[in-house]
Amino acid sequence: MAIIDFGGVKEEVVRREEFPVSKALEVLKDETIAVIGYGVQGPAQALNMKDNGFKVIIGQSSQFKSDWDRAVADGWVPGETLFEIEEAAKRGTVIQMLVSDAAQKQIWPTVKKCLNEGDALYFSHGFSIVYKEQTGVIAPKNVDVILVAPKGSGTSVRRNFLSGAGINSSFAVDQDFTGHGRERAIALGIAVGSGYLFPTTFQGEVHSDLTGERGILMGALAGVMEAQYDVLRAGGHSPSEAFNETVEELTQSLIRLVDENGMDWMFANCSATAQRGALEWRPKFKAATLPVFKDLYESVVSGRETALVIETCSAPDYKQMLDAELKEMADSEMWQAGKATRSLRPHEEARAITADTKGVAGRGVN
């Protein structure tokens, strides 16, 4: 285990170099890992563990034909490694609850009756355990309750695994019945493809995660992009120009440099005009959005956000409502402009060559 200084605060980090897959295989050698749900996180985590040599089975309701068929297409064999949820839960010693948060409430009675003393109940989100008054997910006292939360979508978890990079994940132990809960959690974190893991709590994970995805990661990012795009269009700029200045330069150039070097480096290495303007407007944007983020965080901690998720996502017409909301976004001029812009990009091979030869990318960055 390593102790890393995060801006003056020292935190423990578990790296793959210190806890390799070989050690994880030894820790979990007698375990059967039942991945419940083959939707978003399930496929990536299950396939990564399978490729790493762990004993994995899938629990997926055959009523959801697209997910069942996807599992079959990925090589899981009905009756051998692919089962209905209850059968998989009976066979597993580690039960990975990877269906959606709203669905966990629905399947919990089925899963709970299949748990045996010493089993591990695994989550990738603290939602069900932290908000147990709303979800009804109250674990029996004779099992370990652990968490591994990859900081990325299922697509990223799988892609990073295949590239060898690994994903950044957090881990937590809410209940350590066996005395090996922490070791189990770390081993499973390595098994699903984490490059490194940092400790948290179920509460810490869900509060930060719900805030992040509603905030800067998705909700705020989409909202701020739409606002700037609309202002530029109202100012007479073309769709292509408005999109390029709002989205394309951010995603194809600048954010990659921030990822590699940090925002301070970005500010230090852009044109003087961009630098001065950004420094002047940064505190204005912070002042404008800070009250919104405070309201968002309070809504998360109070349980209002989880209540909304459970109520809305459990509605019988939710899929139709969701499709309509996503279609409205997709059909907007901004994202139609984005579709056209993406069609003009060079193929990945050409982009890789360009990136290697161009050096620091992006207009105004030198």
**Structural domain boundaries in the chain:** 2-200, 215-358
Rama region for 15: left / alpha / beta (φ>0; ψ in -120 to 50; rest): beta
- Position 347 scores a pLDDT of 64
Q: Report CA-CA distances (Å) from 54 to 47, 201, 348.
A: 10, 26, 33
- Position 358 scores a pLDDT of 30
Question: What is the pairing mode between strands 33-36 and 94-97?
Answer: parallel
Whole-angstrom Cα distance, residue 310 to residue 174?
22
Identical fold at 2-200 and 215-358? no
Contact 232, 241 (CB under 8 A): yes
Q: How confident is the model at residue 4 (pLDDT cuts 50, 70, 90)?
A: confident
- Position 12 scores a pLDDT of 85
- Say which amino acid occupies 321: M
Whole-angstrom Cα distance, residue 242 to residue 40?
32
Query: Does 366 score more than 80 pLDDT?
Result: no
- Position 32 scores a pLDDT of 97
Catalytic-residue membership of 180: no
What fold does the segment set 215-358 form as a domain? N-(1-d-carboxylethyl)-l-norvaline Dehydrogenase; domain 2 (1.10.1040)
Percent of the chain with pLDDT over 70: 94
Work out the average pLDDT over 116-120: 97
pLDDT of 159-215, one tens digit each?
999 999 899 999 999 999 999 999 999 999 999 999 999 999 999 999 999 999 999
- Position 336 scores a pLDDT of 95
Collapse the DSSP code of 94 into the 3-class scheme (helix H, G, I; strand E, B; otherwise coil) and give the result. Answer: strand
- Which strand (E) or helix (H) includes residue 34? strand 33-36
| Cross-strand partners of 175 | 145
- Say which amino acid occupies 9: V
For the residues of 112-165, what is the DSSP string, one character each? HTT--TT-EEEESSSHHHHTHHHH-----TTSEEEEEEESS-HHHHHHHHHHT-
What fold does the segment set 2-200 form as a domain? Rossmann fold (3.40.50)
Contact 50, 43 (CB under 8 A): no
Of the residues 125, 180, 207, 347, only one is catalytic, namely 125
